[in-house]
């Protein structure tokens, strides 16, 4: 028996024991069969996912240290592309726009999502109708949303200005005003994204044990107190998850900018990813574009890790 | 108003099934309806009215559209937008392209991700933990980092300006593998053991026992893939420039340059591009929300 145990451990790290060649060969064959059947299940998808992410990501790093327009042979330039980022006013503006958008979008989408989900989480008439209405814009594509938004926010005949006129407020240029464009894009993004946050919060709310709420009620808590001291703490983890998710989405804003303003007017709504797209696919600066994309990657990761670290420190079990 | 707006979505059976309504709290018993309607009704309208306006505008004449103040309801039914859409632009071609791309994406996603998810959840093989870890780690890589090298890769492989450029990025995803693995982990093992005792092969167990149980998760994965591939703009945008290879989304954005003021046509295009998804979502929304609950998506 004792030898059996040792062969078992030995065959784990694939060293054959000379005394028992037949047995270890059988074990090795079983290992091979397992590997083959396991990888024939997991292999194709793994290969595709890694091949379309880790491979191009490493390639992007090589490109980011070159000057290359895609046609002429690339010239190695070391870290110069990264150094250039520090003194690029257009990039600085794009970073500012992205941060302003993120600062507006993330807290608002979380707050709206939570409030609407709390309102939807009860048995009243029409609740399924409301839920569907609020979620449906999430299904619309960025292209459709962008076209619809340029119509609704059209300064001449759009409904948004009509609404302002009716309540006696001055007319606005919306997407055609460099100062407003980004805020309007944020409104449009909220319209499309809040449905997702609502569903995530609804799922979390329905997970809160009924007993907890009942116990608080028996103890004489009013609905506001129940929400503050029972419901809200239970929503901690999902809030961290949503915040991280929405922050990543916001930092990567591209589609809506492309389909509404194309970064304009006067670059007033140009975000980092839109800037990367312009550098690479309109002015053929592959090297510099890749460097900016890497910069954004690092910043996104730091922000994400920072949020997770903060959540861990505050004992919110989200990850 | 509410009944007028009903078409875009509610499942008509919804109020009826489910547990009986909780007894109303005494303070609100005097109101004829729950006060939450005062919040929910306007919010729901803000979300759904633009879409209603999109549908109605697609049936308007230019005279109706350019009127100020703007009208929500068309004075008469005009099909000029749709006629223009189907005669002046290769919209059917684009629709077909999008359907091809989405179908391939969904089928490949369902097959590849459920197999990989099952492998990572149940089978033991060398490299399993590392492989799964690597896949999950790729979720952190932002897509824009991949735009440039993926475009160059496509150029070398000769798939630029083909539909393959639009569907290759959607054949499998880390998210899909993760979702399916989480689901398979939540299934009881006993059924699979029973199948194996009855002499099923690993693939037989997967195909005949596990997959039929995974229908809700597969429905969710299909919906997510449909949403993603149907609405995708970035990959077609960078890799396709031949008008006949456009997807619907790319075609729509090209209208923004060429048909800036033909609003009924633009809105008709929007309706064609959006309606199939809304229908699909409404049909599958129960599955979708149920899966969100167990998949750990909620954190």
Token pair, residue B195, equals 């199948």
Chain A residues with CB inside 8 Å of B227's CB?
A: 139
Q: Give me the pLDDT at residue A313, please.
A: 82
CA atoms within 13 A on the CB side of A114: 20
Q: What are residue A224's DSSP bridge partners? A: none
Which residue bears the tokens 């100062």?
Answer: A179
Put simply, the answer to whether B66 touches A140 (Cβ < 8 Å) is no
| Averaged pLDDT, B136-141 | 82
B289 pLDDT above the threshold of 80? no
Interatomic CA distance for residues B185 and B117, integer angstroms: 9
Contact A116, A122 (CB under 8 A): no
CB-CB: which of A48, A123, A136 is closest to B8?
A136
- Binned at pLDDT 50, 70 and 90, residue A11 comes out as very low
Rounded to a whole number of angstroms, the distance from the CA of B299 to the nearest CA of chain A is: 5
Neighbours of A20 (CB within 10 A): 17
pLDDT at B109: 93
Average the pLDDT over B71-77 and give the result.
78
Cα–Cα distance measured from residue A36 to residue A138, given in angstroms and rounded to the nearest whole number:
41
Nearest by CB: B298 against A126, A157, A238: A238
Give Rg (Cα) of chain B: 24
Whole-angstrom distance, CA of residue A106 vs CA of residue B261: 33
Higher pLDDT, B107 or B260: B107
DSSP letters, B58-107, are HT--HHHHT-SSPPSS-SS---HHHHHHHHHS-HHHHHHHHHHHHHHHHH
Q: Do B11 and A128 touch (CB under 8 A)?
A: yes
What average pLDDT score do residues A294-299 get? 90
Cβ pair A147:B269 closer than 8 A: yes
| Confidence band of B288 (pLDDT split at 50, 70, 90) | low
Candidate from B126, B238, B273 with C-beta closest to A141: B273
Residue range A147-182, pLDDT digits in tens:
889 888 888 888 888 888 888 888 888 888 888 889
CA distance B118 to chain A (A): 7
Q: Has residue A111 got a pLDDT over 90?
A: yes
The predicted model gives A3-21 an average pLDDT of: 46
Q: With contact defined as beta carbons under 8 Å apart, do B180 and B214 qualify?
A: yes
Q: What is the pLDDT of residue A4?
A: 41
- Nearest CB to B278 within list A37, A136, A304: A136
Spatial separation of the C-alpha atoms in residues B178 and B136, rounded to whole Å = 7
- The answer to whether A60 and B146 have CB atoms below 8 angstroms apart is yes
Please give the mean pLDDT across all residues of chain B: 81
The answer to whether the pTM exceeds 0.80 is yes
Q: How confident is the model at residue A208, as a pLDDT?
A: 84
Vertex B237, ends B231 and B243: CA angle to 5°? 100
pLDDT at B282 over 70: yes
Q: Flag whether pLDDT at B17 surpasses 80.
A: no
d(CA A250, CA A300): 10
Q: Is A312 on the interface with B (CB under 8 A)?
A: no
Q: Which domains does chain B have, with CATH numbers?
A: 92-263+272-294 (1.10.3720.10)
pLDDT score of B100 more than 70: yes
Subunit contact A141:B230, Cβ cutoff 8 A: yes
Q: In terms of DSSP H, where are the helices of B66-210? A: 80-88, 91-122, 128-138, 143-157, 164-167, 174-186, 190-197, 202-204
Distances (CA, A) of B180 to A40, A235, B117, B173, B203: 16, 25, 5, 11, 16
Has residue B28 got a pLDDT over 60? no
**Is A163 within 8 Å of chain B by CB?**
no
> Which residues in chain B are closer than 8 Å to A52, comparing Cβ atoms?
146, 150, 168-169
For A:41-70, CB contacts with B below 8 A are 41-46, 48-50, 52-57, 59-60, 63, 70
The helix (run of H) or strand (run of E) holding residue A233 is: helix A232-234
Mean predicted lDDT score pLDDT of chain A: 84
pLDDT of B97 > 70? The answer is: yes
Q: Which ipTM score applies to this complex?
A: 0.80
Domains and CATH numbers, chain A: 2-52 (no CATH), 80-313 (1.10.3720.10)
Q: Do A42 and B299 touch (CB under 8 A)?
A: no
Distance CA A265, CA A90 (A): 14
């Amino acid at each position: 028996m004792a030898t059996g145990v040792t062969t078992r451990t030995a065959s784990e790290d694939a060293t054959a024991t000379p005394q028992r060649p037949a047995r270890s060969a059988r074990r090795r064959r079983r290992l091979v069969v397992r590997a083959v059947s396991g990888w024939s299940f997991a292999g194709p998808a793994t290969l595709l996912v890694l091949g379309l992410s880790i491979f191009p990501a490493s390639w992007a790093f090589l490109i980011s240290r070159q000057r290359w327009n895609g046609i002429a042979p690339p010239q190695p330039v070391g870290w110069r592309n990264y150094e250039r980022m520090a003194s690029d006013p257009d990039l600085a503006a794009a970073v500012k726009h992205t941060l302003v958008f993120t600062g507006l979008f993330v807290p608002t989408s979380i707050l709206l999502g939570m409030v609407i989900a709390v309102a939807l989480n009860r048995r009243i008439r029409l609740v399924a109708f409301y839920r569907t209405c609020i979620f449906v814009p999430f299904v619309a594509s960025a292209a459709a949303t962008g076209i619809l938004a340029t119509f609704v926010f059209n300064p001449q005949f759009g409904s948004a200005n009509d609404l302002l006129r009716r309540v006696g407020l001055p007319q606005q240029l919306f997407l055609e005003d460099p100062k407003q464009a980004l805020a309007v894009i944020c409104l449009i993004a909220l319209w499309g994204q809040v449905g997702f946050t609502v569903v995530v919060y609804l799922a979390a709310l329905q997970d809160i044990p009924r007993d907890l709420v009942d116990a608080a009620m028996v103890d004489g808590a009013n609905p506001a107190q129940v929400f503050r001291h029972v419901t809200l703490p239970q929503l901690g983890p999902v809030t961290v998850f949503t915040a991280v998710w929405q922050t990543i989405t916001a930092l990567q804003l591209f589609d809506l900018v492309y389909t509404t303003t194309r970064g304009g007017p006067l670059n007033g709504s140009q975000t980092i990813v839109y800037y990367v797209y312009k550098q690479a696919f309109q002015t053929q600066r592959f090297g510099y574009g890749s460097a900016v994309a890497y910069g954004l990657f690092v910043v996104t990761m730091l922000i994400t890790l920072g949020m997770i670290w903060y959540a861990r420190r505050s004992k919110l079990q989200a990850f | 108003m509410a009944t007028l707006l009903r078409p875009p979505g509610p499942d008509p059976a919804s109020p009826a099934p489910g547990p009986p309504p909780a007894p109303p709290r005494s303070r609100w018993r005097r109101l004829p309806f729950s006060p939450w309607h005062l919040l929910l009704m306007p919010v729901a309208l803000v979300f759904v009215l633009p879409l209603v306006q999109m549908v109605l505008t697609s049936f308007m004449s230019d005279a109706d559209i350019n009127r100020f103040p703007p009208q929500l309801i068309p004075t008469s039914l005009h099909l000029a937008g749709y006629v223009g859409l189907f005669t002046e632009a290769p919209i059917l071609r684009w629709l077909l392209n999008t359907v091809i791309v989405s179908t391939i994406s969904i089928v490949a996603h369902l097959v590849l991700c459920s197999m990989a998810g099952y492998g990572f959840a149940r089978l033991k093989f060398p490299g399993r933990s590392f492989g799964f870890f690597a896949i999950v780690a790729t979720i952190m890589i932002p897509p824009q980092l991949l735009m440039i090298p993926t475009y160059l890769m496509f150029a070398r492989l000769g798939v630029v300006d083909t539909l393959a450029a639009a569907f290759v990025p959607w054949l499998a995803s880390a998210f899909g593998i993760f979702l399916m693995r989480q689901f398979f982990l939540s299934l009881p093992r006993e059924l699979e053991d029973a199948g194996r005792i009855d002499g099923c092969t690993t693939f037989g167990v997967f195909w005949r026992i596990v997959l039929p149980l995974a229908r809700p998760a597969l429905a969710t994965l299909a919906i997510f893939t449909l949403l993603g591939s149907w609405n995708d703009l970035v990959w077609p945008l960078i890799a396709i420039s031949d008008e006949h290879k456009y997807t619907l989304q790319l075609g729509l954005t090209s209208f923004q340059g060429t048909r800036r003021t033909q609003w009924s046509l633009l809105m008709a295009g929007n309706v064609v591009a959006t309606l199939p998804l809304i229908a699909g979502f409404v049909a599958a929304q129960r599955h979708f929300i149920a899966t969100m609950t167990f998949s750990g998506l909620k954190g």
